[in-house]
Structure formats: C-alpha cells, structure tokens
C-alpha cells in the first residue's frame, strides 16, 4: 500500500465514505428561531439586539473586556492595525505561513508586510528566530524599531494562531516589548483555544476573530475585535460605523470611517452558534482522538497536536509529512480528493504571491518546509458528534 493509500484508509476510518468536505457549519440549535425573531423585528442591518448580545456573549466567553463585531476577520484586522498606530509607510511583521487576508489587512492601511519564519511545534511564528533576526537588521530610535535596509519603522507584530493552535505568545510578547512593537493577534482560526488557560486574542493590544462559513462557529460572514481598553473599544465601534457622530437627525462624521458593522441578522446566527460552541469543541477533540488512533502505524506522518500548556480548538485537523515524504504530498492530495475526502495543502507562502514578491522577509526555512509537508483533513464538527460515523 502506498503512503497515499494508507492516508486515505486512515481518513476513511474516521469519516466513513465520501464525499466529505473539509469543514462545514452545523446548525442544530436556535438558529432558525433567532433568525425568525430578527426578521420579525425588521432590524436586519447594523442595529439590533442580536449585535449587542453577540458582542457581550463573545466578550464573556473569551474573557476580553470588549468585543466589537464587524463584517469579516479581514476588516477586524484592518481596523485593529489602524487603532494600533500603524501608519502608511510602516512595516508590519507577519508570518509568511498564513492566509492572504493577514497581509491584505496590512496593505489596506498603507503599510508593508514583512514576512517572518514559523516554528514546527506550533506552526506559528518563531519568536526566538525573530528576535535574532531583528537584532541584526534594526535599530531602536526614540522607542521606534527601524529597519536599517528600508529606513521604515516596523510598527507592529501580528502572530497568527495557525489552524487553531496557539502560538508561543509569551515569547512573542517579549519580542514585541523589547523592540517597541504593537502586538495585534490574528486569532481568526482560534476561537476556543487557550494558552495556559487564557483565550487567544486577549494577550496583545487587540485580537481579531473570523466567523466565516468554514470557521468553528459562523455568522455567515463576520469577524470581531477583542479589546481590553474601553476607550479603544469605543473608537473601534465608532470607526466601524462610518465614524458617525451620534445625533437625532444630522449626518455628522468626524474622521474617515468604515462601513464594517456586522448586520443584526448575521449576529442572530452567531448568538445561536456561540451557544453550541462547547459541544463543537468537544466534538473536534473527539475527531482529533479518532484521527490519532487511525494514523497509528501510518509511516512518515504525524498528526499535529496542541502545543504543551495549550488547549486547541482543533479547527482544522492537520498532518505533517516527514521531509522524506514531502515529494508525495500532491499524490496524497490527488488520491484522497479522488476518493471524495476533501484534503487541502497549507497556503502558498505569502512572499511567493505576486502582490508580495518585493516585500521584506527573513530567511524562511521552517515555513518553506511546512508549506511542502502540511495537509489539512476533513474536520467538520458533526464528524465528532456521537453516532456520526
């Protein structure tokens, strides 16, 4: 049996027969009831009780003081970087191994992405390698980190919690502190994940979430900014509501704002989904355990587990091929997809994409290795519900 066939057989043990998609939402709670209530109220746009409730419930769940709901995770990160002081002409450090939205949000603010390497144990950025890199290429001038090669200020650092696995946030925070960088967490994939008991997205100045249809919970499209500073949260809500000054009838806008508020009808869906999040997370952990058992004895493959001291939401179950098997990745993808099991590689590293060829970057040996070897497996929560197989 080839490696591709062995992996296909292991997947089949967990999910049964195909077709099985990579990740799909599950609607088994109050979604219909809340959507009907929203429709009956006629408040389906950016004002309504479900928006307020969703923000309150999300803040309570994550432990953040405030949550500001927006139209998607990219919008959340765009606004968070602006509120974090990122200015046109700045550079922002982001992992090369992340979804393109992380880089796009940087560019929306007129800044330049600066790509950094990852570590294999978390799949997130490597703070030790980053520290060594910054020591060699930057100067600190009046509490600003300046890239000697470009002359630009490196203003912010954006770690991303890859596939829901928490990055080494303590090491990352230390780098941000020592190099005077604003830390904004891209927690788009990690709702329900914790680092030593504290929810991802609550360590930096701000954190951002996504509720796209393929995330652990969904609002259809949607995102949120997690913020512990009350004044910053007020500013975030103001910016994402076209910077409109409250008035009974006048249309007054006191700065450039964005039409980024989450509609009430999407928030209604989110409220129902959030109620089911503990069950989704338990199901995803069961999926991981079943894959773990299924892959015992499959050579040259390791199932990615949560980092030590962390609790992962296991958003996307992921295997890592040995370097010796990296050349078989595409054959594995072809075999598994051909059998009806949707598997996917990791994203193309951002510095390889046409819009980002010229951006600054450090050497990326680990990210380049991970790109060749990572494969995501079917991970929908319903696969881990009792009796699903």
**For the segment 71-92, what is each residue's pLDDT rounded down to a tens digit?**
999 999 999 999 999 999 999 9
* Same structural domain, 266 and 291: no
Summary mean pLDDT of the chain: 97
Residue 54: inside a domain: yes
- The Cα–Cα gap between 347 and 260 comes to 26
**Strand 112-116 and strand 91-95: pairing?**
parallel
CATH number at residue 211: 3.40.640.10
pLDDT tens-digit series, residues 83-130? 999 999 999 999 999 999 999 999 999 999 999 999 999 999 999 999
Is 322 domain-assigned? yes
**Helical packing angle, 49-62 and 264-275, nearest 10°:** 40
Q: For residue 52, is it within any domain?
A: yes
Give the residue from 376, 333, 384, 361 showing the smallest Cα distance to 165. 376
Query: Residues 258, 126: one domain?
Result: yes
The answer on pLDDT for 388 being more than 60 is no
In this structure, are 104 and 225 located in the same domain? yes
Region 211-239: what's the mean pLDDT? 98
* Residue keyed to tokens 């927690």: 187
* Residue 389 included in any domain: no
In a domain, 286, yes or no: yes
Determine, yes or no, domain membership for 137.
Answer: yes
**310, pLDDT greater than 90:** yes
Q: What is the pLDDT of residues 140-171, one digit of tens each?
A: 999 999 999 999 999 999 999 999 999 999 99
Last residue of a domain, one of 259, 275, 291: 275
List beta partners, residue 148.
Answer: none
**255 and 315 inside one domain:** no
pLDDT of residue 18: 86
Q: Is the domain of 83 the same as that of 232?
A: yes
Beta bridge partners of 3: none
User: Does 228 share its domain with 182?
Assistant: yes
Domain count, the chain: 2
User: Is 249 in the same domain as 344?
Assistant: no
Q: How far apart are CA 88 and CA 84, in angstroms?
A: 13
* Domain annotation covers residue 308: yes
Kindly report the CA angle at 46 between 42 and 49, in degrees rounded to 5?
65
Please tell me whether residues 296 and 270 are part of one structural domain: no
C-alpha R_g of the chain: 21
Q: Quick check: 387 pLDDT over 80?
A: no
> Is 0.85 surpassed by the pTM of this model?
yes
Crossing angle for the helix pair 3-15 and 277-294, nearest 10 degrees? 140
Same domain, 293 and 262: no
Same domain, 82 and 10: no
Domain hosting residue 160, numbered range:
31-275
**pLDDT at position 386:** 64
Counting residues of the chain whose pLDDT is more than 70, the rounded percentage is 99
Cα gap 381→315, rounded to integer Å = 9
Task: Tell me if 105 sits within 8 A of 77, measured CB to CB.
Answer: yes
Answer with the one of 245, 275, 305 that is the final residue of a domain.
275
**CB 53 within 8 Å of CB 267:** yes
295 belongs to a structural domain: yes
Nearest to 84 by CA among 210, 213, 176: 176
Instruction: Find how far residue 331's CA is from the centre of its chain.
Output: 28
Query: Which of 243, 275, 307 is a domain's end point?
Result: 275
- Compute the average pLDDT of residues 294-310: 97
| Token pair for 22 | 């990579």
Whether pLDDT at 389 is above 50: no
Torsions phi, psi for 114 (to 5 deg)? -130, 115
Closest to 195 in 3D by CA, of 203, 205, 183, 207: 203
Work out the average pLDDT over 57-74. Answer: 98
CATH code for the domain of 299: 3.90.1150.10
Please state whether beta strands 374-376 and 182-186 pair in parallel, antiparallel, or not at all (unpaired): unpaired
Same domain, 142 and 195: yes
Give yes or no: residues 133 and 233 share one domain: yes
| Cα gap 271→353, rounded to integer Å | 36
């Amino acid at each position: 049996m080839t490696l591709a066939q062995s992996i296909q057989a292991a997947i089949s043990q967990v999910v049964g027969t195909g077709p099985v998609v990579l990740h799909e939402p599950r609607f088994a709670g109050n979604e219909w009831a809340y959507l009907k209530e929203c429709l009956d109220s006629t408040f389906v746009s950016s004002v309504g009780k479900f928006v307020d409730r969703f923000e309150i419930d999300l803040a309570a769940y994550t432990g953040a003081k405030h949550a500001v709901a927006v139209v998607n995770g990219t919008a959340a990160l765009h606004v968070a970087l602006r509120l974090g002081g990122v200015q046109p002409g700045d550079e922002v450090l982001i992992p090369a191994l992340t979804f393109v939205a992380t880089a796009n949000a940087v560019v929306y603010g007129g800044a330049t992405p600066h790509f950094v390497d990852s570590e294999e144990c978390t799949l997130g950025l490597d703070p030790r390698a980053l520290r060594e890199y910054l020591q060699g290429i930057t100067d600190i001038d009046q509490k600003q980190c300046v890239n000697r090669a470009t002359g630009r200020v490196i203003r912010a650092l954006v770690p991303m919690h890859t596939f829901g696995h928490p990055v080494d946030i303590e090491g990352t925070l230390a780098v941000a502190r020592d190099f005077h960088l604003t830390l904004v967490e891209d927690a788009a994939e990690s709702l329900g994940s914790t680092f030593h008991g504290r929810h991802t997205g609550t360590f930096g100045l701000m954190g951002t979430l996504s509720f796209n249809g393929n995330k652990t919970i969904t609002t259809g499209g949607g995102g949120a900014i997690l913020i512990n500073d009350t004044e910053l949260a007020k500013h975030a809500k103001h910016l994402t509501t076209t910077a409109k000054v409250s008035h009974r009838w006048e249309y007054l806008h006191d700065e450039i704002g964005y039409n980024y508020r989450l509609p009430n009808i999407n928030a209604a869906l989110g409220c129902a989904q959030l109620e089911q999040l503990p069950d989704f997370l338990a199901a995803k952990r069961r999926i991981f355990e079943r894959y773990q058992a299924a892959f015992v004895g499959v050579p040259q493959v390791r199932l990615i587990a949560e980092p030590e001291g962390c609790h992962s939401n296991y958003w996307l179950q992921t295997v890592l091929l040995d370097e010796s098997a990296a050349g078989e990745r595409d054959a594995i993808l072809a075999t598994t997809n051909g059998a009806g099991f949707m598997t996917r590689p990791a994203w193309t590293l951002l510095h390889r994409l046409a819009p980002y060829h010229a951006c600054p970057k450090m050497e990326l040996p680990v990210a380049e290795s991970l790109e060749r070897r990572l494969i995501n497996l079917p991970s929908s929560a319903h696969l881990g519900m009792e009796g699903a197989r």
